């Protein structure tokens, strides 16, 4: 084997030619078992992200049978294993250490759905950067994030991990997170390899049931589900993870046309494609493989480079290759991609780049990181209703009742996939409220009910203290493990007796504001009808209490917007703003139109909805031209004014509709947004540019086309209440 110093010198060369030469030289020295070892990812010590699997030991590392570890973290553990790989294996190839840094490592930020509600990609990129800094300080060089699945069914637990229902918003947030994780230079010690997941259409699982079948048209695949992945690839994402679902009868872990065809062939992605947990093995459950060897062969041929946990590539593929059932060239292609990722991370040059134990403390849960988490949390909160201006509360309120099972629940504030976050790190809502008010304010507290039981015995006490208070805050929602992977629900109602608790407290006649903590849209019709103020807080992270107090007492004016539609009940699902019109659009006066007998067809809260403590007015939507060519550009200008008496942010949203097309089009689609800060009385004119990419769709031949005809531009503060203007695309 070449000495480490020689490998390092070769790897340090920056050109693509040097990269290829280095990888080809190393590959030529590898045995078949060593090649397949690079494609093997066993679980690390302490991993708990799926069905139990045996962790690989040091002997496998010495033999070159491990290329990466799942779920192993901590400088001492990872660097001890790295030293074994580099110094005691035949070729000294360094390891990758993958970990689920989804919305923070130790400094836990709001869940990704909440971050998306900020409509602030700069803040989202900052959150990912903090996660990368902390993760690398603990020995990690690869994260399985961001999740860029478009999700339009809130029954699906993993809706919490993504950016919601909209393709455009999903693209913007995918790019922000990739940039945050990978930084400006992958070789930097504080950069991690990002993973766009789950490729593809995982969010379209039937019945909102995790791991379930997806059956969609190619048009929907290309127009809705693929674009966020394409955006991530264009942003330079180093890794992509296959999804558990099938599409049109082909499980994604065996879907060569989408992996090798679209991802690699059409888009030019040259990074690593990693399986999901036991995804290769599960091809047998899909019944397209009779045994592990066939599952492994089909996955490798489809372009799945790394076998997470199944241990099939290591155990079964050597025999398959030697028997002529799998070309060695297919294995070599996968190995090249794995080695390329390690090269681009600079691991051949410095395999111990993440081995400074002092950073574990100095770069973890710092004041700056907590401040960023607090900022992100308050920017993510969405004011859903505020009748009578119950919020913001005065800090001089004499007696304040804080009621609900989420008021003092630190673990719930972290949400699902909370990295290495600890409950003791969390500022709970109750603690944050107590810290925000002065000693003259008396805080009364009662749980009132548990999160998900039928026990009503605590409601009487909650009503009693509410009756003694000048104002009441209700802290309601889900437990942290009621959303996330495998946590699907057939009801979107508040779990347990929380609605009963809320309505009983509301009957006291005191000013009441309800705060929701959840990882999915909830159908809170009764609260909308009877509780004057409702604030959506999601799962806000370690700074939950401080951020919430900032909003509740008016130190921060909420401006979050819903990245996903809130239905009135689960029977409306799927419901999303960018729907098709149908031949019989819903009309109250027309019985034979597309609606329901028992509830309105309209959502409880629309995509993009969110209120403020101030008010905004939109004026003068102007287009730069009345007519443009199909390859032309158009500027849309709109003026927004803060007409209230306090400063605040507004999320200005631009939508577009192709009025008449050869293929049916959505009623409108988001094509731009900007979060702006305006002082009371201040106006600002914003300009958005529309290009051919914004106007195009897949025609009958499944090729992108911009057709001549009329288009409508919409601008406003949500997806419903908009100014409108029209322009025409002329024939060539």
Note whether 591 and 600 are within 8 A (CB).
no
Percent of the chain with pLDDT over 70: 96
Q: Is 341 helix (H, G, I), strand (E, B) or coil?
A: helix
| pLDDT tens digits along 691-715 | 999 999 999 999 999 999 999 999 9
CB 430 within 8 A of CB 408: yes
Q: What is the model's pLDDT at position 1?
A: 27
Residue 65 pLDDT > 50: yes
At 6 the pLDDT is: 31
Report phi then psi at 571, rounded to 5.
-70, -15
pLDDT in tens, 549-561: 999 999 999 999 9
pLDDT-based confidence at 51, cuts 50/70/90? low
pLDDT for residue 48 is more than 60? no
The pLDDT value recorded for residue 7 is 36
What is the predicted pLDDT for the residue at 5? 35
pLDDT given at position 54: 59
Q: What confidence category does residue 44 fall into, taking pLDDT thresholds of 50, 70 and 90?
A: confident
pLDDT digit string (tens) for 4-16?
333 333 343 346 8
* Burial status of residue 361 (CB atoms within 10 A of its CB: 0-12, 13-18, 19 or more): exposed
Q: What percent of the chain has pLDDT over 90?
A: 95
Query: What's the whole-number average pLDDT of the chain?
Result: 96
- Who wins on pLDDT, 58 or 292? 292
pLDDT digits (tens, 9 = 90+) for 327-362: 999 999 999 999 999 999 999 999 999 999 999 999
257, pLDDT greater than 60: yes
3-state SS of 173-239? HHHHHHHHHHCCCCCCCCCCECEEEEECCHHHCHHHCCCCCECCCHHHHHHHHCHHHHHHHHCCCCE
pLDDT at 295 over 50: yes
Residues annotated as catalytic are 276
Task: Give CA–CA dist 164/606, Å, rounded.
Answer: 12
The C-alpha atoms of residue 552 and residue 422 are separated, in whole angstroms, by: 25
N-term to C-term CA, the chain: 62
pLDDT in tens, 447-465: 999 999 999 999 999 999 9
Could you give the CA distance from residue 523 to residue 135 in angstroms, rounded to a whole number? Answer: 36
pLDDT single digits (tens) 711-732: 999 999 999 999 999 999 998 6
pLDDT over threshold 80, residue 474: yes
């Amino acid at each position: 084997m070449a000495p480490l110093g020689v490998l390092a010198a070769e790897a340090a060369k920056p050109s693509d030619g040097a990269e290829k030469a280095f990888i080809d030289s190393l590959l030529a020295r590898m045995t078949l078992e060593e090649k397949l070892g690079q494609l093997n990812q066993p679980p690390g010590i302490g991993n708990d992200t799926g069905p139990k699997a045996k962790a690989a030991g040091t002997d496998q590392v010495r033999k070159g049978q491990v290329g990466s570890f799942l779920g192993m973290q901590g400088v001492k553990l990872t660097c001890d294993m790295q030293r074994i790989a580099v110094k005691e294996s035949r070729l000294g190839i360094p390891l990758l250490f993958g970990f689920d840094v989804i919305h923070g490592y130790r400094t836990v930020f709001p869940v990704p759905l909440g971050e998306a509600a900020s409509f602030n990609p700069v803040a989202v990129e900052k959150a990912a950067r903090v996660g990368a800094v902390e993760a690398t300080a603990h020995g990690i060089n690869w994260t399985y994030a961001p999740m860029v699945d478009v999700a339009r069914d809130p029954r699906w637990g993993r809706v919490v991990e993504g950016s919601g229902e909209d393709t455009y918003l999903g693209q913007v947030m995918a790019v922000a997170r990739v940039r945050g994780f990978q930084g400006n230079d992958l070789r930097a010690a504080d950069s991690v390899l990002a993973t766009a997941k789950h490729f593809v259409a995982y969010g379209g699982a039937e019945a909102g049931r995790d791991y379930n079948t997806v059956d969609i048209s190619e048009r929907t695949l290309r127009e809705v589900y693929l674009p966020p992945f394409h955006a991530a690839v264009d942003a330079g994402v180093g890794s992509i993870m296959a999804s558990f679902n099938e599409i049109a009868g082909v499980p994604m872990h065996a879907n060569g046309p989408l992996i090798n065809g679209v991802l690699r062939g059409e888009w030019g992605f040259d990074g690593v494609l990693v399986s999901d947990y036991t995804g290769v093995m599960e091809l047998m459950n899909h019944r397209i493989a009779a045994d592990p060897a066939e599952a492994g062969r089909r996955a490798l041929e489809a372009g799945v480079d790394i076998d997470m946990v199944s241990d099939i590539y290591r155990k079964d593929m050597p025999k398959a290759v030697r028997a002529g059932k799998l070309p060695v060239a297919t294995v070599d292609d996968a190995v090249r991609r794995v080695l390329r990722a390690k090269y681009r991370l600079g691991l051949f040059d410095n395999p111990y780049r993440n081995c400074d134990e002092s950073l574990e403390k100095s770069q973890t849960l710092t004041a700056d990181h907590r401040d960023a988490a607090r900022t992100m949390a308050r920017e993510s909160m969405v004011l859903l209703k505020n009748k009578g201006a119950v919020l913001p509360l005065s800090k001089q309120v004499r007696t304040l009742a804080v009621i609900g099972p989420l008021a003092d629940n630190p673990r719930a504030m972290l949400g699902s996939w909370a990295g290495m976050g600890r409950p003791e790190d969390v500022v709970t809502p109750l603690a944050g409220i107590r810290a925000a008010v002065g000693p003259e304010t008396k805080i009364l507290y009662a749980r009132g009910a548990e999160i998900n039981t039928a026990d009503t015995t605590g409601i009487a006490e909650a009503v009693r203290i509410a009756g003694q208070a000048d104002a009441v805050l209700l802290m309601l929602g889900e437990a942290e493990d009621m959303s996330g992977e495998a946590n699907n629900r057939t009801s979107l109602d508040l779990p347990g007796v929380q609605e009963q608790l809320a309505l009983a407290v509301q009957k006291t006649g005191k000013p009441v504001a309800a705060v929701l903590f959840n990882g999915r849209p909830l159908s809170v019709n009764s609260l909308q009808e009877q509780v004057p103020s409702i604030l959506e807080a999601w799962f806000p992270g370690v700074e939950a209490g401080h951020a919430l107090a900032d909003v509740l007492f008016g130190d921060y004016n909420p401006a979050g917007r819903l990245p996903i539609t809130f239905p009135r009940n689960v029977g409306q699902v799927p419901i999303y703003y960018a729907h098709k019109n149908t031949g019989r659009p819903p009309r109250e006066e027309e019985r034979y139109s597309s609606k329901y007998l028992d509830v309105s067809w309209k959502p409880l809260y629309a995509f993009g909805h969110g209120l403020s403590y101030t008010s905004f007015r939109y004026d003068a939507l102007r287009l730069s031209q009345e007519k443009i060519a199909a390859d032309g550009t158009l500027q849309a200008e709109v003026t927004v004014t803060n007409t209230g008496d306090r400063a605040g942010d507004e999320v200005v949203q631009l939508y577009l509709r192709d009025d008449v097309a050869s293929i049916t089009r959505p009623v409108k689609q988001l094509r731009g947004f900007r979060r702006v800060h305006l002082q009371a009385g201040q106006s600002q004119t914003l300009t958005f540019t529309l290009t051919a990419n914004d106007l195009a769709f897949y025609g009958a031949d499944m090729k992108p086309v911009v057709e001549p005809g009329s288009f409508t531009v919409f601008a406003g503060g949500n997806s419903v209440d908009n100014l409108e203007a029209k322009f025409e695309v002329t024939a060539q």
